[in-house]
Each structure stands twice: as structure tokens, then as C-alpha cells.
Amino acid sequence: MGDVLAGIHATWEFETDSVLIRFERGIRTPRLFQALRERRVPHEALTAVTLTAGKRGTVVLHAVPRPGADPLMEAAAGQLKEGCDPYRLVLPADRETLAEYYADELRPLVAADAGPSDGFLVPAPEGPQSFKAYDGRASFDGTAEVAFRWSWTGASSAKWKAGDQAFAVRELSGVEWRSPDVLDGYLRLLRRDRDSGTQPAQADLDPAAVVFGLGYGPVHESLPFAAAVLAAIRDADDDAPAVAVTAGARRDPADIAERIRHLGDLHRAGLVTDEEFTAKKRELLAEL
């Protein structure tokens, strides 16, 4: 192969053993794509290739990643919006025939029947990295340590009491990333010496978590950060059990009630629309 297929926001270069995805830079390109810049995806990291009709006169070439093959998609845990999926190449409809040709060329090369990957096959975003959360700043040196430094304007009294935090990667078992596109997004570090019942349910009370809030911890900063930490955890102990990644645990009813009251306050203040209020309230009630 070795040919290049140019789409909207990205180009795919088809190599003998992989697909090299280069993301465009520009004001209309999703900021996550700009942060990723480029990604080399081995054929063995893919499980299927599809071509479907897109919106407004486009077609979408989708290379479906194998579960467990890409730390970015593992950290996202299904929370990425379609437009931010790095495995979707959107093309004008008049390139459908060309896209079908490349899809046919790629399909026999992917690991269609291989099942979940035992290890990451796609490189994680490079460190060191940092981003500003609502209640502090998160930083990762790229290999060994994750640190949280609390903000005096946003951190809870529980976090101030615990003090700034530093976590050795070897002490972690995984991460839990809840998208900042929802009202209660956060990044939580999961520690090997604790089970899920010993960490506070609320991220704003957990010294091993930072909360995002409106305008803080955007996807293009916090998700590559989470993916890099996840990959470092795997590298730190190749014999460790499979990394646990979830999109957020079921909450205590009292916590749900408090979230709904807070949501109501935002709604009455005009900061949340009727549609957003109804949808978010339904989502919170579903977690009971």
C-alpha cells in the first residue's frame, strides 16, 4: 500500500504494517485531534473497517480499534463524541469509491478474530503533561509520578486537609476518567492498596481525584493525560492484572439528590437550559 487518503481534519497513510494518521491543524479541527498530532496504528490493533454515509454529503471510513489496544480509547471508555473519534476519517461523498478501495485493501490485514488485546499496541500520548482542573492542577512527569496541587479557590476542605498529593505510578492500578462534557466530570487515580469501596464516592472529596467543572480539564488536555498515565501503569508492571477503567461508578442516593439540587440551582440561574436540565436529571436518576 503506502498511499495517502486525505479527509476532513486528517489524512491516513496506508503502510505495510500500520496506518499513520496525521491530524490537520485549524480552527475547525477538533482540539483533541490537534493535541494528538499524529498516531501510528498497527494493523493488529484494529478489529474491523467500515464505510458508512456521514452527515451533509460525506462518507465515514472507520477503523475500529481492538478492545485493550489503545490507551486513549481505554481511558475514554466510550465517552468520546463521534466528531472526536480519532479512528473516523470523514471524506466528501465524491471520494466514496476511493475510500471503498482502501477499506477493501485494509480489511484483510486487521485482526478481525483476535479478540481483546493483552497489551497496548498504539503508543500513548507523550509526557510530561499537565492541565488545570477546577480544584487544582494535575501534572505527570511522563514515567514515574502524578501530582495534584490544590487550588485555594476550588478545592474542598477535605482536599485541603489532605494536602497536595503525589502518586508513584507503580502504586496505581488504573484511572477513571469521566468526560468534562458532563457536569460532574473528573479524573480519578485508582490505587493498588485500596479497593473501590475505600475511596470517597464524590470526586470533590477524594484526594486521588481532580474535578473538571465548566471550562476546566477539557477533553483535549485531560484525556491524553489519562491515557499517558494508563500506559505508564502498564509499563511499570507488565505482570499486573488488567487495568481497571470505568466511566464512573454508581453513586450513593444522597449524593445523587445533592447533585440534582445543584443542577436545579444552575437551572434556576439560567446557566442550564430546560433540555440540559431534563437530560442530566434523567442521567443522574439512572445511576440509582
Q: Look up cell 482540539; give the residue.
A: 31
Sequence-ordered strand ranges (E) for the chain: 4-6, 10-14, 18-23, 38-42, 46-53, 58-65, 88-92, 129-132, 136-140, 145-150, 165-168, 172-178, 186-191, 209-211
| Interior/surface letters 58-94, b for 16+ CB within 10 angstroms, e for the rest | bbbbbbebbebbbbbbbbbbebbeeebbbbbbbbeee
Q: Is 2:16 a contact under the CB 8 Å cutoff?
A: yes
How are strands ordered across the β-sheet holding 209-211?
172-178, 186-191, 209-211
The strand pairing partners of 131, in sequence order, are 138
- Residue 246, pLDDT score: 47
Domains of the chain with CATH codes: 4-109 (2.30.29), 129-236 (2.30.29), 253-286 (no CATH)
Confidence band for 247, pLDDT divided at 50, 70 and 90: very low
pLDDT digits (tens, 9 = 90+) for 190-231: 998 765 556 778 999 999 999 998 889 999 999 999 999 999
CA 25 to chain centre: 20
> What pLDDT, on a 0 to 100 scale, did the predictor assign at position 152?
86
Task: Name the nearest CA neighbour of 219 among 178, 259, 253.
Answer: 178
Q: What local confidence, expressed as pLDDT, does residue 248 receive?
A: 46
**What CA–CA distance (Å, rounded) separates 36 from 9?**
12
Distance CA 18, CA 1 (A): 10
Segment 41-69, tens digit of pLDDT: 999 999 999 999 999 899 999 999 999 99
Would you state the pLDDT for residue 268?
Answer: 77
Beta-bridge mates of residue 88: 62
Q: How does pLDDT run across 97-128, given as a tens digit for each residue? A: 999 999 999 999 999 988 999 999 999 998 78
Nearest CA-CA partner of 89 in 97, 99, 98, 79? 99
- What's the predicted TM-score (pTM) here? 0.80
ω into 116 cis (within 30 of 0): no
| pLDDT band, residue 270 (cuts 50/70/90) | confident
